[in-house]
A = this chain, B = another copy of it.
Amino acid sequence: MLQLARFLPAWMRNYPRHHLGTDVLAGVVTTVLVLPQSLAYALLAGLPPQAGLVVSIFPVVAYALLGSSMTQAVGPVAVTAIMTFSVLSPLATPGTAEYVALAASLALMSGLLVVAFGVLKLGFLSDLLSRPVVSGFISGSAVLIVISQLRLLVGVEAQGADSWHLLAATVAQLPQLKPATAVMGLAGLVVLLLCRHALAPTLQGLGVKPARAQAVVRVMPLVVVVVATLAVVAWDLDTAHGVAVVGAIVPGLPPLQGFVPSASDLGLLALPALIIAFVGTVQNIAMAQALAVKRRERIDANQELIGLGASNVVAAFSGGMPVGGGVSRTAVYVAAGAQTPLASLVAASAMLLVVLFGTEAFTRLPLAVLAASIVVAALSMIDVAALRRAWRYDRADALALLGTATGVLVVGLEAGIGIGIGLSLATLLFRASQPHIAVVGRIPGTEHFRNVARHGVQTLPSALFVRVDESMFFGNLRAIEERLGAELEAAPAVHDLVLIMSAVNRIDVTALEALTDMHRDLGLRQIRLHLAELKGPVQDRLQGTPLWSALSGGVYLSANGAFEALSPPLK
């Protein structure tokens, strides 16, 4: 027994009994509330609706046993679902056995990749995605999600090779819309939007306590779904008025999916799987960290990846769609009072019961209402505030965000994130290539040196003190050389150039050669080159070089040391 316990996760070995009640309640509540969402995201991914239910069982158990966050809820998520659809729909027809097998392969590959990142401690690779890029990616995806749902929302037949052709086809078909479907879809949309944005303040205005008002808001989507289903049943909207519904779901767990991805599938899916893995990782870790901070816990990023990856591997064989840590799902879960992953196990068990005995309830659920709930979720993913904040703080980051979103919309999800990474790197390089360089002087009576342009400082007539605020590397040498050249030209009396290296964290080979050339050039012009405030690692490297042994000037621990040494002797 003790042996077995060693393999249990930490939270299970020392389970705090007093959390039992809230955990069980949270698990049951969450399952009921996220049911419509799970069906909807499976449809969004182009899969049969029950796939969304099935991947809410065993993959959730896998995450509960292996993940590191106490309160993150995994399951079908919107961005992963639209990525699945966007990757697979050119390869196979949604709904076919081939499509289902491809989706399972995608879940398996991205799962294995994420596990590998975790085991090899390569989680840092996801740092290639800056937050503005991720934000732009999600906002762009959200617009694509909205476009994909419009036809279901109003009940028209429309198809398109990509989102824009689909949108055009949907608009062209509008005259043929099915009135009953459109009324149901648009009414659902309006009610859900009002619930999300206006209900809580209204209830609070009526004197309802904030927590209770929030609970009502969370229950409303389920109420809308129930009411819509009852309406279909009452007036036979599906058979009499052509309102599309979920349709018969075979009760019970599907047999364990056996599938062998072909080599060509693996090749086609490798890049999408990597992107799903990366984006999933970034979102997951960011959310898990935010939750951990609120709860004053710490998460282990690599352990988190192992949990997320394992749950996708399990999802490949049971349900067959990629899963992730869902924002709204987790929010429901936390609000319902979940304290430990036990709540997840309860939720998984509850979902198992639903799949075994309760699927009949969804047979006549109208797709238009599910589409409305997806649209509302997608609209909330469009983060205009992030763009506004970035624009105010840092234009380059704002442009990376906009570029990524535009890229996702115009050339697709995969190329869009490639554009985003490219923009991030370009920004990095561009900034580093325009280093801040200041001519400095000493603040009288202190040992501090500040920009001569900003402060009233002491300078020496024959010595120029220049601080370079950037590592020296191939990309910014030209700027540094030009600035130093201009400063020296403006001060012909100078015979000592002191470079203050306090912000130079590195000098690469190109920069070393350029410095060596500059030193030789200065020598010809009778100007000595001094170095001050060199960082330890920089100095260690320089010590073996010809520049160091030939240096015409001195090396000073501090700018002040150089200032004192170069000051004319007092008479």
Contact = CB atoms under 8 A, between A and B. Distances in A.
B506 A503 contact: no
Contacts of A389: 509
A475 B127 contact: yes
A424 B433 CA distance: 14
Contacts of A425: 425, 429
A124 B481 CA distance: 12
A155 to B, nearest CB: 42
Contacts of A503: 502-503, 505, 535
B509 A448 contact: no
B293 A517 contact: yes
Interface in A159-189: none
Contact of A541 (B393, B448, B477): B393
A99 interface: no
Contact of A477 (B127, B396, B513): B127
Interface string A470-509: 1001111111000001000000000000000011011011
B505 A433 contact: no
A447 interface: yes
Nearest to A394: B509
Nearest to A545: B393
Contacts of A469: 505, 535
Interface in A510-539: 510, 512-513, 517, 520-521, 524-525, 535-537
A151 B431 CA distance: 49
B509 A397 contact: yes
A429 B390 CA distance: 22
A432 B506 CA distance: 9
A435 B505 contact: yes
A255 interface: no
Interface string A265-292: 0000000000000000000000001100
A129 B474 contact: yes
Contacts of A209: none
Interface in A343-393: 389-390, 392-393
B524 A296 contact: yes
A428 interface: yes
A22 interface: no
Contact of A524 (B293, B509, B525): B293
Contacts of A454: 536
Contact of A132 (B436, B448, B510, B520): B510
A544 interface: yes
Contact of A436 (B129, B289, B535, B558): B535
Interface string A535-557: 11100010011000000000001
A196 interface: no
A296 B525 contact: yes
A128 interface: yes
Interface of A: 123-124, 127-132, 289-290, 293, 296, 298, 301, 389-390, 392-394, 396-398, 424-425, 427-429, 431-433, 435-436, 447-448, 451, 454, 469-470, 473-479, 485, 502-503, 505-506, 508-510, 512-513, 517, 520-521, 524-525, 535-537, 541, 544-545, 557-558
The 10 nearest A-B residue pairs measured at CB: A130-B474, A397-B509, A131-B510, A130-B510, A293-B521, A503-B503, A469-B505, A390-B509, A127-B475, A132-B509
Given A127-B477, A428-B475, 20 more contacts: A123-B478, A124-B433, A124-B479, A127-B433, A127-B478, A130-B475, A131-B510, A289-B517, A293-B521, A293-B524, A393-B509, A393-B545, A394-B509, A394-B512, A394-B541, A397-B509, A427-B508, A428-B473, A436-B535, A502-B503
26 contacts: A124-B478, A127-B433, A127-B478, A128-B429, A130-B508, A130-B509, A130-B510, A131-B509, A131-B510, A132-B509, A289-B517, A290-B517, A293-B517, A293-B524, A392-B544, A396-B508, A424-B474, A427-B508, A428-B429, A428-B473, A428-B475, A448-B558, A469-B505, A470-B505, A503-B503, A503-B535
